[in-house]
Structure 1
């Protein structure tokens, strides 16, 4: 079976003011998350000093100090105590990388046999990264993590049932340690907070159906257009100089209350004011109109639906020649009305998200609060990923009550409340309460709900499901068998595609495939469809290895992959038909494992040619976790240098510079072994008219021939380095923080448990979840004495 892979302003202002009550607690939690609560001592310094003097220092004198003494660019002799090495561990860890790769000592330096090399690596590692894994562990402290864009979208989908794609327009998430879910870099800029507020409104509006707003009728006409106005010349304002009537004929769109407005003034003559009679249906009202002053008169009227009339009559005309003349002037008429709003919710119009959230319905306004408490308790507890407190629920109900007091419907009140919950820090952040160690120094376990959240966002990039939350509530999440059974089910669940897409695409850097621009004049088979298929192959392949629980080394040496006909044709593989991806055997083919995936080969190439340097650097960083140091300043690019000959020859000339040799001697051999694959991952045997030489020799004397030899090296001599690299990458992604020297204890244990399970990948994932950094709360650092 092929593993599946996921191929109005005023109202807003009111809501912002209401949910703004949540923002102070958001800021407070951000401050709290940055505080450290305790410190711990490191491993016993006495043992380290003895190991330094008796084991490491003699080897350093024999093999290193001739070049790396005082006054040299890299002075190793200056660190004359174990504590100095421990404090300067970054430098010494780089020396470990050089020793493992065989670049130190250099070819012209003292010879170091394999056994002595292993003892030196172990000695440096034990001193530079000294930590007592039993008596003095540290699980590390994770900065409170904000949901990144992907996690936000997935969480909204699983919480509410709305696929909020505008989350893709949120500001980009910063990357730390290779991943975009690292707490230290997931800040909350003001523009993102604005986006969250807008999103809360839109999401709640999509999730909950509310009856349409009440119909509003408003009509205003010129007095000169009224029936009977022709007697007075159809003028506006309309001067009525004798008793007469004008009629406004209109159609009432609904039955209900209306307000009639008339603006009028009078020319008073005689001993009484101008009088007008307003008649509608069987009702009438007489009003007095002031002399020479316009006044607005408002009369409440009730009409049934249909054609209706309002008569406006001047009823007390008076005229005495050369003495007095009483007249009426009509300046304007207007009619407004608002229909009675229905509170009926048509079941046919209600989305599934509405039924999911509003599971109880009040029978009257007296039940609004009780129903809202039930609804919001359940919603907030799922949104916050732990039981909501009574105070939190009451605050949400109070927000809903404000809407009801403003004549909003029950559903509108719930909309406001859930919008507030969606901008709460307890939703936007994976909040973990700071704790102190026990009196005996035992590190505190994170809470059951915090553990459920960590597991879910690790494997699904989304909130815990009901089963995980129930396990947390019942306390069974701490039972190993129960938790491991759930983890196994989660890895088989389609939602684990999110883990594959997010972890793998960042670990292997194939997200960068969107930014590469191969020269299609040189590589005519490459197009946008192939670009997407490249990514899909790698993600589907990893999903297959994971769901079949194959050994982690399968990622390097698999004799199968997943293809459709288009990508198979691009690779030159026959007998693959159809658009769907399926498992394809690669036996008898030069391809196999991640190293021959076009996605990897393309992101590690230049637009018009391969780059052995980029490919070598990629393998060192992502498969062996031994990144080379940065290139020296002012080194020209290979194309702009004065070097000549084939690519291999130019790189060999480049390595002649001592400043370049140490790094390139690590990277170039790896890249040369991959030269049979061009810049878009197609296999070739010749380049620029010459046969390709894919042989490679490493600084320690190891020789390999092509990609097959490189694969054998990675799963043979360098197997444990590869396993430790994958374990560390998984731990970083799972905990949302970079690893430190004291995480060596956890990584050792993860690798060991994976090996005990036959090197199978699911055992490594399970070991990450069972590790101390994942299960417990430690400290931001572990200072040395």
Structure 2
């Protein structure tokens, strides 16, 4: 066999021979890549398929991708719901309010009218009736079918398409305009659950308890995870062709999506969600106490942290853990006022490296984190300690009991020579407080080096601030020490991997998936804690697409009970 192959190769023209060699090399590299990410992966366990509502950002990205960024969205979006630390998980648990329904209708009317206006319709329609008052069934079917495929992120069934075409036909007759009728058909698609919700479906032909998502649901998971936007035409074509059924086809699409302009946006969106930046909408500061902090600074503070994360993790392929000791960042002139760092540029961003003695190591020392987790008129070691535990370490701290009396703490706020440590000393003696505060306050005290707006300070109410504390056995005496303790904590990378996976699948991990999570952590460490490698590992893993059929759960319990009772013969 080998001799015949060698003979065949020898008789080929040189260009053909080179093509075959390169093709074989490409297949070998692809096989190696698949083996790298899946060779030791635990068997898929899966969870239930999810139904997730589009976030505001995903909704806007969908409209911009399908109809152009100039398409205005006039409706408002309600405050997102957070679950298991993420809005990305909360979208699968929150309902839909009458206000949201009303605003979706407002947006749908505006979008449909804009797309099919005289000024813009030619960009989306290459057909139409000779007489505008007549209905053109073929044109309507073409437009609604192609647009519906992008909006629903899958091809429309014949019944669905017939329904939208029929609605457009009826509206054309009543309104005397083909384009007005088509506008109603598009409006109906824009308020349909299949657009507003990511409805995952299971692949047909597999009767096992653990099955895969169908090709279009795979495409959805991949695209929203890696671009925070719906699948584009190429990814939908890949789903239609069956190429997403194999590891090579998935790997190819993952590489393409991670090379796209949208990938950095997806990373930024994940970290904005993880850092709870949506809470800035309800964050305010007393202007008399913090005159330099305003809505512009609040927006720039968030952008500072996201720019720092993007630069370190994507541009420099840095170690995720180093985000907590990193002194490189970007500032505007207005942010420079709060950081007490002169910025020569009047407009735009300037790269800055803080000196080791500047007490600015890590994103937990950024204004965005410090201001968000403070009171309107003062700092809070408790809020900051709680946030570090919850956000960076994925550790749950119970809410305070309803019977807690805050009077003893509040009455000493403005007294001379009293610091936050003095005020919160009561937490160590009050039984209802001590259990939780002993894990929050000791790490929050280090961040008392910053006031409620995030400016550095050394004294509070005339007294020198004691920054010493302890993080799970690691003592520290400064903000830099705390930064090192956070970086080196074993739960720091594990928390990130868990958050990344739960964000991708839209639910908390199941008990059996803990082995898969361990596998992700090991790979994360092997890849020097590089976030792009972690995301690629998740997206190319078998577990990423594995689900449990909801109807299988009762059947499995019955089978288990029968087996226990000796009836499972």
| Aligned partners of 1:519 and 1:608 also within 8 Å | yes
Matched, 1:774 2:541: no
State the alpha-carbon separation in 1 of the partners of residues 87 and 343 from structure 2.
Answer: 39
Matches within 5 A, 1:161-180: 161=68, 163-167=71-75, 169-180=76-87
Count of residue pairs brought into register by the alignment: 506
Q: Equivalent residue of 2:279, what SS?
A: helix
How far did 1:453 drift? 1.1
Counterpart of 2:305?
538
State the alpha-carbon separation in 2 of the partners of residues 371 and 206 from structure 1.
Answer: 19
Counterpart of 2:349?
581
Q: Equivalent residue of 2:61, what SS?
A: helix
* Unmatched runs of 5 consecutive residues or more in structure 2: 1-40, 562-569
1:528 to 291, 295, 318: 295
State the alpha-carbon separation in 2 of the partners of residues 533 and 146 from structure 1.
Answer: 28
Matches within 5 A, 1:613-632: 613-632=382-401
Counterpart of 1:705?
477
* Unmatched runs of 5 consecutive residues or more in structure 1: 1-132, 211-349
| Aligned partners of 1:601 and 1:677 also within 8 Å | yes
Which of the pair is proportionally richer in helix?
A: 2
Distance 1:410 1:543, change over 3 A: same
Q: Equivalent residue of 1:663, what SS?
A: helix
Distance 1:607 1:381, change over 3 A: closer
How far did 1:434 drift? 4.5
Deviations 1:602-653, CA, capped at 9 Å, x for gaps? 1222233221111111111011111222324422225336899532233334
How far did 1:479 drift? 5.1
Matched, 1:557 2:316: no
How far did 1:584 drift? 2.2
Deviations 1:191-244, CA, capped at 9 Å, x for gaps? 43344344333221111124xxxxxxxxxxxxxxxxxxxxxxxxxxxxxxxxxx
1:375 to 133, 137, 143: 143
How far did 1:667 drift? 1.3
State the alpha-carbon separation in 2 of the partners of residues 748 and 611 from structure 1.
Answer: 34
State the alpha-carbon separation in 1 of the partners of residues 492 and 527 from structure 2.
Answer: 16
Counterpart of 2:522?
752
| Aligned partners of 1:143 and 1:183 also within 8 Å | no
How far did 1:515 drift? 2.2
State the alpha-carbon separation in 1 of the partners of residues 529 and 299 from structure 2.
Answer: 31
State the alpha-carbon separation in 1 of the partners of residues 420 and 193 from structure 2.
Answer: 54
1:463 to 216, 223, 230: 230
State the alpha-carbon separation in 2 of the partners of residues 492 and 576 from structure 1.
Answer: 34
State the alpha-carbon separation in 1 of the partners of residues 295 and 201 from structure 2.
Answer: 46
Distance 1:640 1:715, change over 3 A: closer
Q: Equivalent residue of 2:289, what SS?
A: coil
Distance 1:518 1:190, change over 3 A: closer
1:688 to 452, 461, 471: 461
2:506 to 721, 726, 736: 736
Which of the pair is proportionally richer in strand?
A: 1
Worse-superposed segment, 657-666 or 757-766: 657-666
State the alpha-carbon separation in 1 of the partners of residues 85 and 346 from structure 2.
Answer: 35
Counterpart of 2:364?
595
Matched, 1:569 2:337: yes
| Aligned partners of 2:54 and 2:91 also within 8 Å | no
Distance 1:571 1:478, change over 3 A: farther
Matches within 5 A, 1:145-184: 145-161=52-68, 163-167=71-75, 169-181=76-88, 182-184=90-92
Distance 1:438 1:473, change over 3 A: closer
Larger relative contact order (CA 8 Å, sep ≥ 6): 2
Counterpart of 2:158?
390
2:109 to 195, 201, 225: 201
Deviations 1:667-690, CA, capped at 9 Å, x for gaps? 122112222122211112222222
How far did 1:596 drift? 0.7
| Aligned partners of 1:142 and 1:183 also within 8 Å | no
Q: Equivalent residue of 1:623, what SS?
A: helix
How far did 1:662 drift? 2.7
Greater CA radius of gyration, 1 or 2? 1
Distance 1:593 1:486, change over 3 A: farther
State the alpha-carbon separation in 1 of the partners of residues 343 and 103 from structure 2.
Answer: 49
2:493 to 702, 723, 729: 723
State the alpha-carbon separation in 2 of the partners of residues 407 and 699 from structure 1.
Answer: 70
CA RMSD after TM alignment: 3.0
Counterpart of 1:60?
none
| Aligned partners of 1:421 and 1:427 also within 8 Å | yes
Distance 1:427 1:519, change over 3 A: closer
2:440 to 639, 653, 667: 667
Counterpart of 1:424?
192
State the alpha-carbon separation in 1 of the partners of residues 349 and 247 from structure 2.
Answer: 36
Matched, 1:360 2:268: no
State the alpha-carbon separation in 1 of the partners of residues 97 and 181 from structure 2.
Answer: 29
Worse-superposed segment, 363-372 or 394-403: 363-372
Counterpart of 1:139?
46
Length-normalised TM-score, structure 1: 0.59
| Aligned partners of 1:140 and 1:773 also within 8 Å | no
State the alpha-carbon separation in 2 of the partners of residues 433 and 485 from structure 1.
Answer: 22
Matches within 5 A, 1:63-212: 134=42, 137-161=44-68, 163-167=71-75, 169-181=76-88, 182-210=90-118
